[in-house]
Structure 1
Amino acid sequence: MQVQLKKYTLPLKHTFSISRESHDFQDTLIAALTLNGQTGYGEATSNPYYKITTESMVAEIGNISSEIENFDFTTPEIFHAFLVGKGLSNFAICALDLAAHDLYGKLLGKPLYEIWDTTTEQYPTTNYTIGIASIEVMLAKMQEMPWPIYKIKLGTSDDVAIVKELRKHTDAIFRIDANCAWTAQETIYNAPILKELGVEFLEQPLKADDWSGMEEVMHHSVLPVIADESCIVESDVEKCALHFSGINIKLTKCGGLTPALRMIKKAKDLGIKVMVGCMTESTVGISAIAQLIPQLDFVDMDGALLLKSDIATGVHIEPSGKVIFPKGNGSGVQLLD
């Protein structure tokens, strides 16, 4: 099995800001696995919060490239277990795992959602993310991209005022993501005001390790709260079920589709909501996420919509939020160059 890696710097349409950082570009790594005339593509973005760069991922994968090329590929799950055994970071594993799943589907001649015995007749609508900025800039972004659901990034001194102003200009559903910037008291105080303003849920308002604070929020918040930074890997799901209404799974953080599928099942068994989110991936990563949407309650897969230019074809999302699935198999991804 041949492995190829390519680094890209993806330009964003607008500066993207959350409570802890801002950026105009997103570095990403594309992994390609080729076997029997078929090539599968996977992706993992760099992330300063988790100290991951494209260079670090290339180095990790490069150290075992000969073993990958000699690997007797049968299923993505067996390949994933092999990668875990080699001690790679979850981000590097994600790029390879997504490529393995795409390859597997192409070898079988089926899209992944069919292999998983799901259909695309019903699925949740993705939100479109509005990063932290001045109210004028946030409004301009909303007007540029009319959408049925907006995820609004907060973590400022005027969070409620921002939502009040944005609400004057749209009837869309709002979701709030504070990216760990609030306290339990702020969350409990803000929740009823935000509920009246049409907010559906709050995502990770508290610091990732503030479990006592989240327990307080669980007992007193009038809005559901979804875990993000508190839910990284499979072992986090059970603990999150005691402190959150649901979890947001990120493929890069957990290590790809293979563990994500297990996390989805575990969360459903525990009776909590399931969301899958993105990390400003190109259409390569977004197309992998899209294969999961029949199994989800919520989805945040707007990453490619935030880019000035893309690097691949695959899943396409219309302004209504409707997902157009590609005719190709696997994740349906093809690189543009």
Structure 2
Amino acid sequence: MQLQLKKYRLQLKHTFTISRESHDFQDSIVVGLSEDSVTGYGESTSNPYYNITQGSLENEINTVRNEIEKHEFTNPDNFYELLNSLELTNFAKCALDLAANDLYGKLLGKPLYKIWGTSSYKYPITNFTIGIADVDTMVAKMKEQPWPIYKIKLGTADDVALVTELRKHTDAIFRVDANCAWSAEETIQNSSALKDLGVEFIEQPLKASNWEGMRSVINASQLPIIADESCILPEDVSKCHGHFTGINIKLTKCGGLTPARKMITEARSLDLKVMVGCMTESSVGISAIAQLTPQLDYVDMDGALLLKEDIASGIQINADGSLIFPKTGGSGIHLL
């Protein structure tokens, strides 16, 4: 197996702001794994919240290059056993695991969703994310990108007033994401007003460690509550039961498609709703997420739509949110 690494700085169309940070670009690492002249691709992005940089990803993957290139590749599960034996962050595992899954499907000539026994006939529509800004800017972004579902990033001085103003300009479904910025009391109070404003659910309102607060919220909220920062690893899924309505899985944070599929299975067993989200990846990462959509209740895979210029082809997202799945195997990724 041959390993290739490519570094990219992905320029965003607009400054993207959440409750704790703003950025105009996203650093990304794309991994290529090749076997028999076939290459699978995977991606992971930098993330200051988790102390992940492009340089740290490059260094740790290069550190285990020999072990990876000596590996006798048979399937992604076998390859993930190797990854678990190495000292890698989940972000690095994600890029390698996505590449291994894409490679496996390409070698078999089948898309991953078919290999997993699912169908592309039914899938949730992705939301389009509107980052925090002044009201006029947020409205302008919605008008620039008409969409059936918007995720509104919150954490301002008056979030309900902000959503009230945005609602005047669209009939689209709203989802809101406070990125840990609220208290339990705020969440309970906001949930009633936001429900009246056509909000579908609230994502991660409290700090990730505030399980006691989440218990009080889930018992009193007028809206479903989806875990994000509180649900990173497979072992976190069971903790979310009784504290959240559902979970938002991020491939970069959990370590790729392989652990994500286990998280989906466990969440279903606990009657939790399942969402998969993105971290402003290019179509390399987004195309991998798309293969999971038949198994999901909600999806946030708008990362490539937020970029000025994409670096790959794969899944196509139409203006109405519908998908055109690649005909090639794996995740169907090709670098441009």
TM-score by length of 1: 0.99
User: Deviation string for 1:198-247 (max 9, x for gaps)?
Assistant: 00000000000000000000110010000000000000000011200000
Structural mapping, 1:4-23, within 5 Å = 4-23=4-23
Q: Does 1:284 align with 2:280?
A: no
Alignment correspondent of 1:98 = 98
CA distance in 2, matches of 1:233, 1:78: 20
Unaligned runs of 5+ in 2: none
CA distance in 2, matches of 1:6, 1:255: 19
User: Deviation string for 1:129-163 (max 9, x for gaps)?
Assistant: 00000000000000000000000000011100100
Alignment correspondent of 1:149 = 149
Alignment correspondent of 1:331 = 331
The one-letter amino acid paired with 2:241 is: A
Alignment root-mean-square deviation, CA:
0.5
> What SS does structure 1 have at the residue aligned with 2:330?
coil
CA distance in 2, matches of 1:172, 1:197: 11
Tell me how far 1:78 sits from its aligned partner.
1.3
The one-letter amino acid paired with 2:213 is: G
Instruction: Please identify runs of 4+ aligned residues in structure 1 that moved more than 4 A.
Output: none
The one-letter amino acid paired with 1:156 is: T
Tell me how far 1:194 sits from its aligned partner.
0.2
Alignment correspondent of 2:71 = 71
Structural mapping, 1:119-198, within 5 Å = 119-198=119-198
The one-letter amino acid paired with 1:186 is: E
Identity %: 67
The one-letter amino acid paired with 2:178 is: A
Structural mapping, 1:258-297, within 5 Å = 258-297=258-297
Unaligned runs of 5+ in 1: none
CA distance in 1, matches of 2:220, 2:25: 39
Tell me how far 1:37 sits from its aligned partner.
1.3
The one-letter amino acid paired with 2:271 is: G
Q: Does 1:233 align with 2:241?
A: no
Tell me how far 1:35 sits from its aligned partner.
0.2
CA distance in 2, matches of 1:318, 1:80: 33
The one-letter amino acid paired with 1:74 is: T
Tell me how far 1:327 sits from its aligned partner.
1.5
CA distance in 1, matches of 2:132, 2:316: 26
Alignment correspondent of 2:44 = 44
Alignment correspondent of 1:202 = 202
Alignment correspondent of 1:301 = 301
Tell me how far 1:85 sits from its aligned partner.
1.1
CA distance in 2, matches of 1:331, 1:192: 40
CA distance in 2, matches of 1:16, 1:268: 32
Alignment correspondent of 2:310 = 310
More moved, 75-84 vs 177-186: 75-84
Tell me how far 1:81 sits from its aligned partner.
1.6
The one-letter amino acid paired with 2:27 is: D
The one-letter amino acid paired with 1:81 is: E
Structural mapping, 1:54-65, within 5 Å = 54-65=54-65
CA distance in 2, matches of 1:221, 1:168: 24
CA distance in 2, matches of 1:58, 1:113: 29
CA distance in 1, matches of 2:124, 2:268: 16
CA distance in 2, matches of 1:68, 1:256: 16
> What SS does structure 1 have at the residue aligned with 2:79?
helix
More moved, 105-114 vs 73-82: 73-82
More moved, 251-260 vs 56-65: 56-65
> What SS does structure 1 have at the residue aligned with 2:113?
helix
TM-score by length of 2: 1.00
CA distance in 2, matches of 1:261, 1:81: 15
User: Deviation string for 1:9-63 (max 9, x for gaps)?
Assistant: 0000000000000000000000000001110000000000000011101111111
The one-letter amino acid paired with 1:257 is: L
Q: Does 1:220 align with 2:206?
A: no
> What SS does structure 2 have at the residue aligned with 1:49?
helix
User: Deviation string for 1:252-308 (max 9, x for gaps)?
Assistant: 000000000000000001101000000000000000000000000000000000000
Tell me how far 1:173 sits from its aligned partner.
0.2
